[in-house]
């Protein structure tokens, strides 16, 4: 990637790629800490975990159940207020990988279209996309009942093959553009292997081995 390259689409995963760690659990835990009465709901947590372990390891279902436990039925205004506070509290030096932000800025200078593609929910991810100056954010969407949160997923969990489907949609919108894509997990290899300029960053041993078999370049961002 140089300043003379033609414009492209640069697709970034969020958790573990742009950030040092997961964002969903801190988001939910912070909401519970802000609303201590929610602690009374935590008796449902072991059941959700057991359902995940023995019920097919459906990450989307587990995500929905955790959201429902922490904030299901609460008002849009209350959840939006926490989402605003949560994103504003994200310290760039402690939450985001500085090398990732450098690569993001290089794509921006090159005139590339920046896309944030995350399995985390739209309760807060679009706000992170706005904070970092992304042109488009695609993430898992959750259901509302009027002005109160239901917490069920209304899109597939944006992970694995679903990320590939989202990327294929991007190609249909901009067929003349080449695509850079960055992800950190083995599941991201499903869509990384389909683009012109993939990179697995910060992957664990298993992900790096799979990337090598697929000839997907591997890197590390600090």
CATH number, domain containing residue 207: 3.40.50.1000
* Residue 2 resides in a domain: no
Domain containing 22: what range? 8-219
Question: What single string gives the DSSP state of each residue in 98-165?
Answer: HHHHHHHHHHHHTTPEEEEEEEEETTTHHHHHHHTT-SEEEEE-EEEETTEEEEEESS--SSTHHHHH
Residue 77 CA to its chain's centroid (Å): 23
Is 18 a domain residue? yes
Q: What is the pLDDT of residue 3?
A: 53
- pTM for the full predicted model: 0.94
Q: What is the pLDDT of residue 7?
A: 82
Check residue 17 and give its pLDDT. 97
The answer to whether position 152 is within a domain reads yes
- Pairing between β-strand 148-153 and β-strand 142-145 as defined by DSSP bridges: antiparallel
The residue among 184, 219, 187, 188 whose CA lies nearest residue 20 is: 184
Q: Is residue 61 part of a domain?
A: yes
Does any domain span residue 186?
yes
The verdict on residue 3 lying in a domain is no
Asked if residue 1 belongs to a domain, the reply is no
> For the chain, what is the domain count?
1
Q: What is the pLDDT along the chain (222 residues), one digit of tens a residue?
A: 555 566 899 999 999 999 999 999 999 999 999 999 999 999 999 999 998 898 889 999 999 999 999 999 999 999 999 999 999 999 888 999 999 999 999 999 999 999 999 999 999 999 999 999 999 999 999 999 999 999 999 999 999 999 999 999 999 999 999 999 999 999 999 999 999 999 999 999 999 999 999 999 999 998
In a domain, 120, yes or no: yes
């Amino acid at each position: 990637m140089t300043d003379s390259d033609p414009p492209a689409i640069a697709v970034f995963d969020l958790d573990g790629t742009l950030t040092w760690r997961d964002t969903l659990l801190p988001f939910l835990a912070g909401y519970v800490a802000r609303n201590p009465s929610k602690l009374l709901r935590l008796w449902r947590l072991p059941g959700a975990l057991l359902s995940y372990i023995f019920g097919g390891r459906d990450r989307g279902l587990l995500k929905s159940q955790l959201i429902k436990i922490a904030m299901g039925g609460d008002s849009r205004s209350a959840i939006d207020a926490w989402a605003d506070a949560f994103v504003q509290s994200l310290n760039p030096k402690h939450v985001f990988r500085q090398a990732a932000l450098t690569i993001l800025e290089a794509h921006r200078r090159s005139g590339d279209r920046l896309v944030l593609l995350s399995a985390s929910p739209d309760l807060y991810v679009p706000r992170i996309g706005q904070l970092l100056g992304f042109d488009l954010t695609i993430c898992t969407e959750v259901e509302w009942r009027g002005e109160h949160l239901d917490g069920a997923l209304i899109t597939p969990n944006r992970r694995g093959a679903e990320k590939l489907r989202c990327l294929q949609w991007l190609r249909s919108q901009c067929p003349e553009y080449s695509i850079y894509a960055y992800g950190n997990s083995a599941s991201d290899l499903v869509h990384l292997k389909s683009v012109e300029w993939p990179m697995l960053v910060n992957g664990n041993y298993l992900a790096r081995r799979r990337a090598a078999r697929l000839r997907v370049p591997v890197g590390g961002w600090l």
